[in-house]
Structure formats: structure tokens, C-alpha cells
Amino acid sequence: MKNVLLATTALVFSAGFAAAEVTMSGEANMGFKYSEFGLDYADQKTAGWYSIELDIIGTMATDTGLTFGASVTLESDYEDGDNQGYSGVVFASGAFGTISVGVLDPIADDYGLQDIGFDGIGIDDIAEDAGFLGEADVRWDYATGDFTFGVSVHTIYEDYGVGIGYDQGAFNFGLTYDHFEDGSNDVNTTSLLLGYEANGFAGHIYVTDATDNGTSYGIYGSYVTGPWLFEAAYAKADDDSLTAPGVDAYGIGAKYELGGGAQLAGGIGAIDSDTVADLGVTFSF
């Protein structure tokens, strides 16, 4: 994602002063979605769609090697309408990694199945259905060599998770565990993501299993040739207690690079017996 520098202040008058900067970056998409059974956000089969995410990040570096920062994320999409959202995070980084406090994704949310289409037709939702993830307001992330480690906790709710990732270039994997408890639910979720990318081909296998929720899984593959990317995915939810018991999903799609971080993308597939599709553009700035 290309960063646009809004303002940079360098304080270099004496030792102990910090170098600080504020940057802004974002991503957006627009297009059309289709569902044979009717779209969730519109009382019809076909409707327009847009999504915007804008990140404003301020950081300062101390002469002791620490970096402190804060970010605000502004989000807007067609489904939320006038009820738009924003969230904030404050973080500190150093040799120990990064500690963040704020509205955060659980560690297990960092790993999942790649979807089809410009905004996603929902194949990944079926693959991830059995997993039951809560929230986080504190995270620790650390990277060394090809490995990444992470811990997420919610300090108010009974929710915590751990994860490890490995990216060697062609081969990568992620293994996560999440515990969520709210009085009526006590769920332990374990998820595994395996991936391989080489010579234009990419493939990912994702499996998640949770106590009392069964198992769901999916597989994704793609091939890049010139400005084109062709992709396909399949997913199945064997759980018996969440949103998609016994449901499978599959789809195919294509993306075309327009240059400068923009893509034309679309996909078509089926979730159970519902035919779904989308077509639109995505871009980052």
C-alpha cells in the first residue's frame, strides 16, 4: 500500500528529541454484487457496492531506539449506510516487538482463506465458519527471521489467543489457537493455514476446528500470467451449530492489473444452492 506523506516534523535540535511523522494510506473498492436469493444489504438480487478504509498513522522515534505511535482507521461501506465506523490503536515498538492497545483483531484473524472477486463472494466465510473468534484490545507481535509470533488478549472479556507464522518465500504456514468465553459460550478454536507460491502458481489450504462447532475448511488456488490472475476456491462447513451446517461453496474469478495499485476483478460461484457473483475495481493509495 502506497503511503501519502501528510506532514513530517524532524526535531534535531539536541539529543533526546524525537523524529515524528504523520502518514495517511487507504484502500477502496466499488462495483456490483449479485445473489440469486437476494443480497443481505439490499432487498433485491443485484445492487451497487462500495467500501472505503482510511488509515491515519502518527509515529515518533526516540533516541533510545523505541517507536511510539497511534493510528485511527475510518471505515465506510454500502451496507453500513449512515452508521459508519472508526477505531483507534496506540502502539510501542522496539527490539521486543510491537505492543498495541486499542480496537484490535485477534491473532487468529490474521489467517484465513483467500476469497474470490473484487470484494469477496463469501467462499472464505464458509471455510472459516466453524471457528468462533471474539475480540482483542491488547496484542503483542514479534518477528525474527522467517517466523512471526503473536498473542492477543481482551482485558474485559474472557478472550485470548496465540499464533505462529512462517514464511520462507515459496512455503508459508500459520497455526493459531483462540479461547472465547462469555458465560453461555466456552469455545476453543484451532486453525491451520498452509500455503505454497512459486512460478506464478499459488495455493492455500485452511482448516479450523472448534469445540462443539465441528470443522470447516477450504482450498484456494491461483495462477498469474502477465497482468491477469485467475483463481478458484472451494470450502465446506461440517459444523452443526453455527451459520452454515453442512454447507459447501465454490467459485472462480479473475483479476486484471490496471497499474498503480488498481485492479479490475470479478468472481462467480455458489454457496449451498445460492448463485453469487461480483464485479468491480479495487485500488490503494
Concatenated DSSP letters of 188-200: EEEEEEEEEEETT
- Distance (Å, rounded) from C-alpha 126 to C-alpha 237? 6
Its pTM stands at: 0.86
Say whether pLDDT at 18 is over 90: no
Least confident piece of the model among 7-16, 153-162, 205-214, 255-264: 7-16
- Distance (Å, rounded) from C-alpha 279 to C-alpha 182? 39
SS3 annotation, 208-240: EEECCCEEEEEEEEEEEECCEEEEEEEEEECCC
pLDDT band at 85 (very low <50, low <70, confident <90, very high): confident
Give the mean pLDDT of 39-64.
95
SS3 annotation, 41-76: CCCCCEEEEEEEEEEEEEEEECCCCCEEEEEEEEEE
Instruction: Note the pLDDT of residue 5.
Output: 32
Q: Quick one: which of 275, 271, 274, 273 has its CA closest to 126?
A: 271
Least confident piece of the model among 11-20, 83-92, 121-130: 11-20
pLDDT digits (tens, 9 = 90+) for 160-184: 999 999 999 899 999 999 998 877 7
- Distance (Å, rounded) from C-alpha 230 to C-alpha 117? 10
Least confident piece of the model among 62-71, 81-90, 101-110: 81-90
Instruction: Note the pLDDT of residue 9.
Output: 33
Beta strands in the chain (DSSP E): 4-10, 19-35, 46-61, 67-77, 85-94, 97-104, 136-144, 147-154, 158-167, 171-181, 186-198, 201-210, 214-225, 228-237, 248-259, 262-271, 274-284
Percent with pLDDT over 90 in the chain: 77
pLDDT band at 241 (very low <50, low <70, confident <90, very high): low
Q: Which residue has the cell 470450502?
A: 235
What are the structural domains of the chain? 4-284 (2.40.160.10)
Please report, for residues 95, 104, 140, 174, 285, the alpha-carbon distance to residue 167 in angstroms, rounded to integers and kept in the order given: 20, 23, 19, 9, 26
Say whether pLDDT at 86 is over 90: no
Say whether pLDDT at 2 is over 60: no
pLDDT band at 240 (very low <50, low <70, confident <90, very high): low
- Distance (Å, rounded) from C-alpha 200 to C-alpha 234? 20
Sign of the CA dihedral 88, 60, 1, 114? negative
Give the mean pLDDT of 112-137.
91
